[in-house]
Amino acid sequence: MSVIFVVKLKVKCVISVLVAKGTSKTFIVFGLGTVAQVVTGNGVFGEYFSINVGFGLSVAMGVHVGGKVSGAHMNAAVSFTMCVFGRLRWKMFPLYVFAQFLGSFLAAGTIFLLYYDAIHHYCGGNFTVSGPKATAGIFATYPAPFISIYTGFFDQVLGTAMLLLCLMALADQRNQPVVPRGEPVGVGLLVLLIGVSLGSNSGYAINPTRDLGPRVFTLMAGWGMDVFRNSHNYQIRSVT
């Protein structure tokens, strides 16, 4: 193996990881921005369906940004599945997960800065996880107060399983794949479908790094440990 080949391979890996970070940040900025508008606007700038549309379109844009370079890896569960099926090397998995986490963390910081005044005005500067003026849900997903940990666990397993099943079907050339260059639209519609059908219990995180990065950011930005303690120690579902 020549030195030039090794260098090119390492450069390609670095570029893929950087694109994975950028892709994650792109889709999370748009997604969290949609939630921020809905929450701080008191329904004037949209409602729950707006969030579903926003995340569907943001995922589609993320696939456009990084699809040809990094495979548009924006979800640790998807990256893990690709490794299991031999479509991604295992040594790339921790790098992609770190890039996804970093991208989502930076995206949360971006939205926090952009909407800081609106968030502060909405909650009076009292950053809380639960209650009538809770704002932590702008960044991470939280279960409805009536949801048990067992229902929540099943909710996340089912949502993620449906996501992976449909993604594999969309990409399967032996099946009936989407039209050429139609992958972003197909994936975006899939996320929209999951949101409008499986999202009300706990916000359909279906993505460990999408949830964990912003959750850690809110821990550091003033919401405190309640972002992990709230709702029956329910944070376990974000890494299900």
- Segment 51-105, tens digit of pLDDT: 999 999 999 988 888 666 566 678 888 889 889 988 888 988 988 888 889 889 9
Q: How confident is the model at residue 181 (pLDDT cuts 50, 70, 90)?
A: confident
Is a pLDDT exceeding 70 seen at residue 214?
Answer: yes
pLDDT at 8: 42
pLDDT at 74: 83
CA distance 60 to 54: 10
pLDDT at 96: 86
CA distance 117 to 46: 19
Where helices occur in the chain by DSSP H, the ranges are: 3-40, 48-66, 76-84, 93-114, 116-123, 149-171, 183-198, 208-218, 226-233
Q: How confident is the model at residue 15 (pLDDT cuts 50, 70, 90)?
A: low
User: What is the pTM (predicted TM-score) of this model?
Assistant: 0.87
190 versus 204: the higher-pLDDT residue is: 190
Percent of the chain at pLDDT above 90?
44
Total Cβ atoms within 10 A of residue 39: 22
Percent of the chain at pLDDT above 70?
81
CA distance 227 to 141: 10
Q: What is the mean pLDDT of the segment spanning 38-45?
A: 91
Q: Give the up-direction half-sphere exposure of residue 98: CA atoms within 13 A in the CB hemisphere.
A: 9
pLDDT at 70: 60
pLDDT at 4: 45
CATH number belonging to the domain at 3-239, selected among 1.10.357.10, 1.10.3720.10, 3.40.50.1980, 1.20.1080.10: 1.20.1080.10
CA distance 78 to 56: 16
Nearest to 203 by CA among 235, 156, 134, 167: 156
